[in-house]
A = this chain, B = another copy of it.
Amino acid sequence: MNIHDLIRELREPAATKIVLLVADGLGGLPLEPSGKTELETARTPHLDALAREGTCGLSIPVLPGITPGSGPGHLGLFGYDPLQYRIGRGILEALGIQFAVGPKDVAVRGNFCTVDAAGRISDRRAGRPTTERCVALCRKLQQVRIPGLEVFVEPVREHRFVVVFRGDGLGDAVNDTDPQLVGHAPLPAQGADAESQKTAQAVNEFAAQAGRLLADEAPTNMVTLRGFARYPKIATFQEVYGLKAAAVAVYPMYKGLARLVGMEVVEAGASLDDQVTTLERLWQQYDFFFLHYKYTDSTGEDGNFPAKVEMIERFDSIIPRVRALNPDVVIVTGDHSTPSKLKSHSWHPVPTLLWAPTCRPDAVTEFGEASCLRGGLGQFQAMYLMPLAMAHAKRLGKYGA
């Protein structure tokens, strides 16, 4: 039995509120073998208090050893099995620029490239144009017309953009047109089934028109497309959990992921303080709040250990304002680890705490990777966090008599 079906069956209304605080890329590694992680180094009195009163553990975003991107990382936290629900690259790119993708859309990532007189790619990134130039070139590509479909072309940055094909019955089993090698022409698109052939036909028409529109724009005189993805069919948060959910995020990608599961994306401001103010302002209007904090991940990606420590301390400082709202359940976690030492996402389990009056105490008195190993949540798949939150929020009835 599917866990979402089980939750739909067991869920009960309650006037309780759940706050999910996601510090992106929270988990880390020590720089030296016997050292401390970023989280262990940071001074986090408020998180430590939550850890002491609540239950801690380590969440495994997908499976042991699997490093997730932001998409699977967040789907897991939202209680959607990231192996069952796959969000294709094109859709993620579109979400990342806050393009309102919908159920009739196939989205794909585009790259400007340079082709020689014979049509062979000589630079797969067209010498990395400026983002301003990317915007201007996309405006030009917006002249492409394909009968029976709507086509949207939106800049991302430098050589990257997004194309969305909108129409009935478009499949996404279409090969990348990027040959991933210089010296070869872009590949023609082919569909693996009837619906995808319809998409492939549109893609080839798009490439032909793009070639003509960009003919005089060398080095950005051609495009390649990769990662065709249809908008996923996904039950909403409201349908699964019966929760009215607000996403309090600053970055488009996370707003997009939240919108994908049917959360309402609210105007959140630009700073962490703004986000908490948003939480306070909308407290009465929602049952569930997802607050996304980006800078624990970006400092980790930069390999800047002290900056990540500082961002964690900043994150810690908002906890008193969150607790002052009297939430019934507070979760603090990350969508994955981003150790500064690795300068990238990693597969390491993510320190996680769940605070509620119904928590069984454990031995954890500080919020950190090593201490969470002794926590009452143990090591668990991130997708089970939402059922736990629902249980502690008294929103799940008994299974079976």
Contact = CB atoms under 8 A, between A and B. Distances in A.
A384 interface: yes
Contact of A370 (B64, B361, B369): B361
Contacts of A369: 360
Contact of A363 (B348, B370, B389): B370
Q: State the number of copies, please.
A: 2
A391 interface: yes
B398 A83 contact: no
A373 interface: yes
Interface of A: 1, 3, 6, 10, 29-30, 33-34, 37, 53, 58, 62-73, 82-84, 86-87, 89, 92-93, 341-342, 344-349, 358, 360-363, 369-370, 373-376, 378-380, 384, 386-392, 396-401
Ranked 7 nearest A-B pairs via Cβ: A65-B387, A69-B400, A65-B391, A64-B384, A72-B400, A378-B379, A65-B388
B391 A66 contact: yes
B37 A360 contact: yes
Given A396-B347, A400-B71, A373 B374 contact: yes
A92 B401 contact: yes
B363 A373 contact: yes
B358 A362 contact: no
B63 A398 contact: no
A387 B66 CA distance: 7
B29 A66 contact: no
A7 to B, nearest CB: 9
Interface core residue of A92, A342, A348 (most chain B CB under 10 Å): A348
Q: Is the interface of A mostly helix, strand, loop or mixed?
A: loop
Contacts of A376: 349, 370, 373
A28 to B, nearest CB: 8
A392 B348 CA distance: 10
A386 B66 CA distance: 11
A257 to B, nearest CB: 11
Nearest to A384: B64
A73 B358 CA distance: 20
A69 B37 CA distance: 40
A24 to B, nearest CB: 14
Contacts of A391: 65-67, 346-347
Nearest to A61: B399
B384 A10 contact: no
B63 A401 contact: no
Contacts of A360: 29-30, 37, 348, 369
A72 to B, nearest CB: 4
Contact of A34 (B73, B82, B361): B361
A71 B401 contact: yes
A319 to B, nearest CB: 17
A366 to B, nearest CB: 13
Interface core residue of A64, A67, A400 (most chain B CB under 10 Å): A400
Contact of A1 (B68, B83, B400): B83
A353 to B, nearest CB: 15
